[in-house]
């Protein structure tokens, strides 16, 4: 599937109100409120056996989620937003 070159810009213009500048994502990335809440909830799960010790990507992913666990931005959505 080939995307129209303007499609990402159009989507972002229409959905900008639902995006946040995440202080925990590298490179000051914009993520959706839904993605923020999902990372927060995943960070609170206690599934330590999800990745092996040799899985560098998994290790970095878990470390990133640990930052999201106590994020004040996501905490304000936990009670008001529900995952669909």
> What pLDDT does 10 receive?
86
Residue 45 domain-assigned (yes or no): yes
Domain extent at residue 11: 7-78
Find the angle CA(22)-CA(69)-CA(8) to the nearest 5 degrees: 30
> What pLDDT does 84 receive?
44
In this predicted model, what pLDDT tens digit does every residue of 5-22 receive, in sequence order? 678 788 888 888 888 888
pTM of the predicted protein model:
0.67
> What pLDDT does 69 receive?
86
For the chain, the distance separating the N- and C-terminal CA atoms, rounded to the nearest angstrom, is 27
Residue 30 domain-assigned (yes or no): yes
Count of domains forming the chain? 1
Residue 11 domain-assigned (yes or no): yes
Q: Which regions in the chain score pLDDT beneath 70?
A: 1-5, 46-53, 79-84
Residue 1 domain-assigned (yes or no): no
Distance (Å, whole) CA 73 – CA 55: 29
Chain position carrying tokens 């998994």: 58
Residue 2 domain-assigned (yes or no): no
Residue 23 domain-assigned (yes or no): yes
Residue 84 domain-assigned (yes or no): no
């Amino acid at each position: 599937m080939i995307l129209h070159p303007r499609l990402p810009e159009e989507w972002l213009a229409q959905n900008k109100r639902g995006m946040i500048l995440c202080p925990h994502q590298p490179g000051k990335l914009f993520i959706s409120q839904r993605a923020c809440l999902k990372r927060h909830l995943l960070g609170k799960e206690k599934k330590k056996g999800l990745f092996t010790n040799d899985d560098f990507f998994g290790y970095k992913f878990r470390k990133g989620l640990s930052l999201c666990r106590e994020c004040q931005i996501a905490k304000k959505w936990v009670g008001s937003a529900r995952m669909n």
